Amino acid sequence: MLCAPLALFGLFYASAVTGLAIQKRAVDFFDPAQGGGSIFDNATFGGEPLNVIISGQSSPDVLTDDGILNYAQAIGFSKECLGLHLGTPQTANLGDGNGSLNQTIEFRQDFGNDFLGTCFESLLGGNHFRVWRQNGPSANSGALFLAVSKEQDASANHDLVDDGYNIGRNELVAAAVGTKSHGGVTYNTVAKNITGLMPAGSDGVNHGIAVDGVITLLTVTIQDS
């Protein structure tokens, strides 16, 4: 007769000690559409795809403002030329309860030079990405959503290259996967492609450039020194 009460007590005790019954596990991200948001940002002539997500299960230091800067520099990007931004910041609604917000920061390909390399990208064209953080009250994953695209040079008004969204994503992922280091920090990045969250095609997409419907999830882990 005592077996059931003792078993229940043991279960309660184990839960109280370990916290397993009440702990909320981290998630990669929440689908913006489920909270009234979109997997496209708001640009001049439609939306640009949020085609790379840095998982909320990445090392916490990667997901901070300083952390994403150092990680960006580890994979070949840095702040805009001399810290100057031309044009209106784009906005996005990640469905987290924060509504539509301006991009947190924008990074450009730096051609191996953290300080002046992005000036070459502004002149010659190359890859770049905008960042938003999903941290609102209704969907606080901490994940970073990136709008990645490859653009032409200044003489072409930085219009995107043909297939610029898919190419930009693929080039960023290729630069990120594996082990990279910068500023005394070493990162290991694992990539996973996700389908079903983004429709393929050009309908409503900025510049009318089609996307393939693939989002790449990056999980970035800081390695112990």
- Tell me: the pLDDT tens digits for 200-210? 999 999 989 99
**Among 32-46, 141-155, 157-171, which range has the highest average pLDDT?**
32-46
CB 214 within 8 A of CB 52: no
Two tokens at 202?
A: 């050009």
DSSP codes joined into one string, the chain? --HHHHHHHHHHHHHHHH-TTTPPPP-S---GGGGT--SB-BBTTBB-B--EEE-TTS-GGGGSHHHHHHHHHHTTEEEPGGG---SPPPEEE-SSSS-EEE-SEEEEE-TT-TTTHHHHHHHH-EEEEEEEE--BTTB----EEEEEEEE--GGGTTPBPTTHHHHHHHHHHHHHSEEEEETTEEEEEEEEEE-SSS--BSTTBGGG--B-S-EEEEEEEEPP-
pLDDT at 157 (0 to 100): 60
CB 165 within 8 A of CB 48: yes
* Burial track 189-218 (b if 16+ CB lie within 10 A, e otherwise): beeeeeeeebeeeeeebbbebebbbbbbbb
Place 18 in a pLDDT band, splitting at 50, 70 and 90: very low
Q: How many CB atoms lie within 10 A of CB 71?
A: 29
- Tell me: the pLDDT tens digits for 30-75? 999 999 999 999 988 899 999 999 999 999 999 999 999 999 999 9
- Name the least confident of 35-49, 85-99, 124-138: 85-99
Two tokens at 62?
A: 């990667």
CB 118 within 8 A of CB 79: yes
Report the predicted TM-score, pTM, of the whole model to 2 decimal places. Answer: 0.86
Average pLDDT for the chain: 86
**Measured distance between the N- and C-terminal CA atoms of the chain, rounded to whole angstroms:** 55
84 pLDDT above the threshold of 60: no
